[in-house]
Amino acid sequence: MSAVDTRVPQPTTPTPPSPRRMGPDARRVTARTVRYTLLFLFLVFVLIPVYVLLVTSFKPGTEATLTGAWDLPQNWTLDAWREAWDALSPSLWRSFAIAIPASIVSAILGSMNGFVFSRWRFPGSDIVFTLFLFGMFIPYQAVMIPLRQLTSDLGLASGVPTLIVVHIAYGIPICSLIFRGYYSTTIPNELVEAGRVDGAGLIRTYALIVLPLSAPGFVVTLIWQFTSVWNDFLFAIFLSNTRNGPVTIALNALAGGQLTDYAASMAGALIASFPTLIVYIVLGRWFIGGLMAGSLKT
Amino acid sequence: MRSRIRNWGPGLLMVAPSIVVIAVFVYVLIGATVNESLTDRHTAAPAENYVGLENYANLLDDDRFIHSLKNLAVLTVVFVTGTLVLGVLWAFLLEKGVKGEGFFRSAYLFPMAVSFVASGVVWRWLLNSAEGEGAGGLNALFGMAGLDVLQNPWWSHPDWGMAAMAVPAIWQLSGYVMALFLAGFRGIPNELREAARVDGASEAQLYRHVLFPQLSPVALTALIIIGHMSMKMFDLIMAVSGAQYLTEVPAVYMWQALLTNDYAKAAAIAIVLLVVVAVLVVPYLIHNARTERQR
């Protein structure tokens, strides 16, 4: 916590005559007023899109016009939500079918890699780790053309199976990074060394010492991976279509058509965002943990 | 010798499956893209000849490609500057512990949980170019507030449209930079602040000479992460404007080239993009690996 507690209520005399004659108390009050004003202004900036999304989604098609974007609905209706649900629900389930297995498998691989990279290094393991990390920064366009060929050579059907495999593969670097950081702060080196001296093999050390301590690492990794797979559009547009792809593809088609129903696309944007938003609201603390771990500085 | 291998061998074995996957999915495929970019495969039919660097030379002569690079530069400068300024400001405002800190923090950060495709649906409306009577979106809001001077064509502006395209990106990722800096502030030992105060430093001096210098590694991290995201930007542009010349960046151009089955050109664009990102990221990764080894 910070040393200065600005939350102590000050006896308020909100009349600072001139800056020069301001006492320390008055100056603190001014500073606090400025701070809260700014905080609320930025809050408005952040919430403006949410307001437009929400009010438009409850409008009937005739009211959902650009010029009336800021008005509240005159006739509240759930029609747009129904329409969006009909358009998106098949792809919504496909998104779950992609994101859940992909996050679980890459988290497991990440845990194994993270353990080795932090606590059971081999010669050159730091270089291998850095080569892994590069894989998470590349623009995926640089692999996309041969990737299509590769997935079909592997016999993977377009859509869900392909996207599961691809997200596992490209999820390995970030998952390894998160677990490496996690283990290097939570698993004492001595514990692993002791196991090594006792002749406990790698598998036993991992299974009996490391895994039982891994739950928080898994929560952070799974949230991170689920969110990024769920929100992916790039792999989806290259490797699937509206009939077999995830919800981002279906939403883009719903919102980008020639005769766009604005109310339905706004409701659709909300529907497509609910799973990750719920994860964020319920498990926010862990979500932020993943953000920090994903930034290399662990 | 054998006992040493027995010591680290199992570790290597445990990572081996991932090494194979990364080697194939990252490095072999990048090699295959480079290979493709050196051929004359401009149709769906297989390539017939290697043409050396011809596809790259053509890109340099291609006004459309140069235009997409310019767009990318404008987007990146505005996006990086915007997120860093807002992110640092938000962290600074929240850092001393204000009432409702958790609420503000969660609200500022929530756009991170949403996809560019979903937020693009609403930003397409907010950034509508109509002005005056028929204005919608943010322009209508400016009109209602009597700030008509602020009305502008947003991303439809031929020169500065990409600066407007950065607005949704800034909206989405400033919270992330804030979170990085908040963690940075929290990581500074309290003794440092105490010592500066005892030495008679004012609040401004405390931040300027003590706290901010401590945060330069955080700033570097934020710069690299936001910078490389910007260079890869694809989803947001597709969602807000769709693929069109005005807002085209290399990632979108590559997609368009692929739609016309110009594989060689698409591959060359992708490799140029990779090199641009690598110039930013590789020194950072090496720097990171070095500082870790010293620890």
Pick the closest to residue B107 from A78, A42, A126 (CA basis): A42
CB contact under 8 A, A291 and B179: yes
Q: Calculate how close chain A gets to B100, using CA atoms only, in Å.
A: 10
Are residues A121 and A209 both part of a single domain?
Answer: yes
A53 and A83 in a single domain? The answer is no
Domain-located, residue A190: yes
Task: Give the pLDDT confidence score for residue B5 in this predicted structure.
Answer: 65
Which band of pLDDT confidence, cut at 50, 70 and 90, is reported for residue B295? low
More confident residue, B145 or B267: B267
Chain B residues within 8 A of A292 when measuring between CB atoms: 179-180, 183
Which band of pLDDT confidence, cut at 50, 70 and 90, is reported for residue A258?
Answer: low
Q: For residue A261, give the chain B residue with the closest CA.
A: B121
Q: Which of B8, B125, B270 sits opposite A139 (nearest CB)?
A: B270
CA distance B96 to B185: 9
Provide the pLDDT for residue B289. 86
Same domain, A42 and A113: no
- CA–CA gap between residue A205 and residue A119 (Å, rounded): 11
Comparing A28-42, A138-152, A248-262, A280-294, the range with the smallest average pLDDT is A280-294
Q: Flag whether A187 is in a domain.
A: yes
What range defines the domain where residue A41 resides? 1-57
Residue A63 in domain = no
Say if residue A201 is in the same domain as residue A261: yes
Q: Is residue A73 part of a domain?
A: no
Same domain, A95 and A8: no
Kindly state whether residues A16 and A126 are assigned to the same domain: no
Is there a single domain that holds both residue A5 and residue A118?
A: no
Residue of chain A with shortest Cα separation from B187: A1
Where does the pLDDT of residue B148 fall: very low under 50, low under 70, confident under 90, or very high at 90 and above?
Answer: confident
**The predicted structure's pLDDT at residue B95:** 85
Contact B17, A109 (CB under 8 A): yes
Taking chain B, what is the end-to-end CA distance rounded to the nearest angstrom? Answer: 28
Partners of A223 on chain B (C-beta within 8 Å) are none
DSSP string, A126-156: HHHHHHHHHHHHS-THHHHHHHHHHHHHTTP
> A199 with A281, same domain?
yes
Nearest-Cα distance to chain A for B103, in Å, is 10
CA distance B141 to chain A (A): 8
Counting residues of chain B whose pLDDT is more than 70, the rounded percentage is 97
Residue range B62-294 in CATH 1.10.3720.10: yes
Place of tokens 């955080």: B218
Whether the complex's predicted ipTM is more than 0.95 is answered with no
Q: What is the pLDDT of residues B183-208, one digit of tens each?
A: 888 888 888 888 888 888 888 888 88
Q: Are A218 and A111 contacting, i.e. CB atoms less than 8 angstroms apart?
A: yes
Mean of per-residue pLDDT scores for chain A? 85
The count of domains in chain A is 2
CATH number for the domain spanning A173: value is: 1.10.3720.10
Rg over alpha carbons for chain B, rounded to the nearest Å, is 24
**What is the pLDDT, as a whole number, of residue A296?**
55
Whether residue B79 is predicted with pLDDT greater than 90 in this model: the reply is yes
Residues A144 and A247 placed together within one structural domain of the fold: yes
Pick B150 or A218 by higher pLDDT: A218
pLDDT on residue A294: 61
Looking at mean pLDDT, say which of A179-183, A191-195, A231-235 comes out highest: A231-235
Q: What is the mean pLDDT of residues B141-167?
A: 81
Whether A252 sits inside 8 A of B238 (CB atoms) is yes
Closest of A174, A172, A179, A170 to residue A115, by C-alpha: A179
* Domain coordinates in residue numbering, chain B: 62-294
Distance CA A147, CA B3 (A): 40
pLDDT (mean) for B55-64: 94
Q: Are residues A8 and A118 in the same domain?
A: no
In this predicted structure, the answer to whether residue A189 has a pLDDT above a threshold of 50 is yes
Q: Are residues A154 and A100 in the same domain?
A: yes
